[in-house]
């Protein structure tokens, strides 16, 4: 099993009456709620937590991309990842990911991911989401019915840029480039492991299987609701004649660990409710513009986690609802271990994106929960899939003799000519 510590980077200062006074946390959220001076503290706290997760043994540390979003303050995850690459030396840096249809030209993603892979010594996991309608269509103006086509072209360009040794011309529908010649190039060969975050489009499953990419189901609805969707994915895997290695799939789960179940509620309930009741207050009109989902996906009945109905239901959920419904796995280390085991086996997954910071949870509680997870939960779950031990097809392959930036002195006296020392 692999565990990545993930932070959405929510704004922790949304007022109590946020829902009553604002129609949406995303797209047209009131910019006056943002305070740049408090963001100075916020960013450093969140980045410290990601570095802390590396230090306590998480396999990966994860960041993602959102725009104009009160619960996701990383319009450019690559900026955070660059800092993490310099302040850590061990964990995979999972950028889940860059919305490649939004970069103009998308060769920019090939370049920046190659930089991150070089700086980190080959520790980059490269995520390529299609992007939510809020980010992609309403904030960044992409035409819904053409978004997937543009995404497919961007993907083709990036992979070709990473794997073609000669400069080439790219005559795309959305990108025409006379000289494509990616400098720098990634350390990992032929490229970093690619993760495709999805919300249930059946086209995304086939895209992952066509290319042997990891499929990451990122939702806030938890493992009980994720089951039917992952079942559909695994049926598709079988139908396509692929092996069923659990490392083909990853799942995001909100987790809170404390000494006891009661303490978990006492410590984390208010922050969990801040997230579900306040941060997920998205105007339903932004959730599913016509043309974003394909007719096939609509016919298959796959539901977007952010449909109007789903969003409304988040807003009235209580701690009890969230824990019993599996949105949140919370409790003592023993409780969390049991439920994580159910989740991992039930969903047949080899990789969990652990959302151990939620909403406006303060730093000390986040570290407490993280440490308990790392020391008392994670070790017990490591060997759930012995038959797939060593399957690293979807994992980083860092340089063995990579630079450790955390112990690097700015000047190596040995390199200075003796006369100048």
Q: Give me the residues that bind other proteins (CB under 8 A), please.
A: 137-138, 141, 143-146, 173, 283-286, 289-293, 295, 298-299, 301, 308
Helix (H, G, I), strand (E, B) or coil at 126: strand
Identity of the residue, 102 or 343, whose beta carbon is nearer to other proteins in the bound complex: 102
Closest to 195 (Cα-Cα) out of 96, 118, 91: 96
Q: CB of residue 172 vs other proteins: minimum separation in angstroms?
A: 13
Identity of the residue, 164 or 296, whose beta carbon is nearer to other proteins in the bound complex: 296
The CA-to-CA distance between both ends of the chain, in Å, stands at: 50
Q: CB of residue 311 vs other proteins: minimum separation in angstroms?
A: 12
Identity of the residue, 251 or 283, whose beta carbon is nearer to other proteins in the bound complex: 283
Identity of the residue, 146 or 416, whose beta carbon is nearer to other proteins in the bound complex: 146
CA distance 218 to 228: 14
Q: CB of residue 321 vs other proteins: minimum separation in angstroms?
A: 24
Q: CB of residue 148 vs other proteins: minimum separation in angstroms?
A: 11
Identity of the residue, 32 or 299, whose beta carbon is nearer to other proteins in the bound complex: 299
The encoded tokens of residue 291 equal 């043309």
Identity of the residue, 141 or 165, whose beta carbon is nearer to other proteins in the bound complex: 141
CA atoms within 13 A on the CB side of 77: 29
Q: CB of residue 298 vs other proteins: minimum separation in angstroms?
A: 5
Q: CB of residue 259 vs other proteins: minimum separation in angstroms?
A: 45
Asked whether the beta carbons of 79 and 111 are under 8 A apart, the reply is no
Helix (H, G, I), strand (E, B) or coil at 116: helix
User: Cα 123–124–128 angle (5° rounding)?
Assistant: 165
Q: Quick one: which H or E segment has residue 197?
A: strand 194-198
Identity of the residue, 2 or 293, whose beta carbon is nearer to other proteins in the bound complex: 293
Which pairing describes strands 168-171 and 176-180: parallel, antiparallel, or unpaired?
A: antiparallel
Provide the sign of the torsion angle of the four alpha carbons 259, 58, 89, 115, taken in this order.
negative
CA distance 82 to 232: 36
Q: CB of residue 305 vs other proteins: minimum separation in angstroms?
A: 17
Enumerate the β-bridge partners of residue 197.
216
Which pairing describes strands 176-180 and 249-257: parallel, antiparallel, or unpaired?
A: unpaired
Q: CB of residue 295 vs other proteins: minimum separation in angstroms?
A: 6
Identity of the residue, 297 or 361, whose beta carbon is nearer to other proteins in the bound complex: 297
């Amino acid at each position: 099993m692999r565990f990545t510590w993930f932070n959405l980077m929510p704004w922790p200062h949304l007022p109590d009456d946020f829902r009553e006074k604002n129609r949406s946390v995303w797209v047209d959220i009131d910019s006056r709620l943002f305070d740049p001076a408090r963001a100075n503290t916020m960013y450093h706290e969140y980045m410290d937590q990601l570095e802390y997760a590396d230090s306590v043994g998480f396999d990966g540390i994860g960041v993602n991309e959102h725009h104009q979003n009160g619960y996701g303050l990383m319009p450019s995850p690559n900026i955070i990842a660059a800092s993490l690459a310099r302040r850590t030396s061990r964990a995979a840096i999972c950028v889940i990911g860059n919305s490649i249809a939004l970069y103009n030209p998308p060769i920019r993603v090939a370049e920046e991911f190659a930089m991150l892979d070089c700086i980190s010594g080959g520790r980059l996991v490269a995520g390529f989401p299609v992007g939510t309608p809020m980010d992609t269509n309403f904030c960044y103006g992409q035409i819904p019915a053409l978004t997937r086509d543009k995404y497919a072209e961007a993907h083709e360009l990036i992979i070709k840029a990473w794997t073609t040794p000669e400069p080439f011309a790219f005559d795309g529908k959305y990108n025409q480039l006379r000289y494509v010649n990616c400098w720098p190039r990634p350390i990992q060969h032929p490229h970093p492991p690619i993760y495709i975050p999805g919300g249930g489009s059946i086209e995304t499953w086939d895209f992952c299987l066509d290319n042997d990419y990891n499929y990451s189901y990122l939702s806030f609805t938890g493992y009980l609701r994720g089951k039917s969707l992952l079942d559909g994915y695994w049926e598709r895997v079988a139908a396509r004649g692929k092996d069923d290695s659990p490392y083909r799939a990853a799942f995001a789960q909100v987790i809170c660990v404390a000494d006891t179940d009661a303490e978990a509620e006492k410590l984390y309930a208010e922050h969990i409710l801040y997230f579900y009741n306040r941060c997920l207050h998205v105007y339903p009109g932004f959730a599913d513009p016509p043309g974003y989902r394909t007719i096939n996906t609509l016919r298959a009945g796959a539901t977007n986690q952010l449909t109007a109905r789903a969003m409304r239901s988040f807003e009235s959920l209580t701690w009890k609802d969230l824990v019993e419904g599996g949105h949140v796995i919370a409790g003592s280390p023993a409780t969390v271990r049991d439920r994580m085991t159910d989740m991992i086996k039930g969903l047949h997954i080899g990789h969990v994106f652990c959302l151990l910071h939620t909403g406006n949870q303060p730093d000390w509680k986040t570290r407490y929960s993280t440490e308990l997870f790392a020391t008392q939960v994670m070790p017990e779950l490591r060997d759930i899939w012995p038959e797939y031990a060593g399957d690293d097809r979807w994992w980083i392959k860092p340089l063995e003799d990579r630079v450790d930036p955390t112990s690097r002195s700015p000047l190596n006296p040995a390199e200075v000519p003796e006369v100048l020392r």
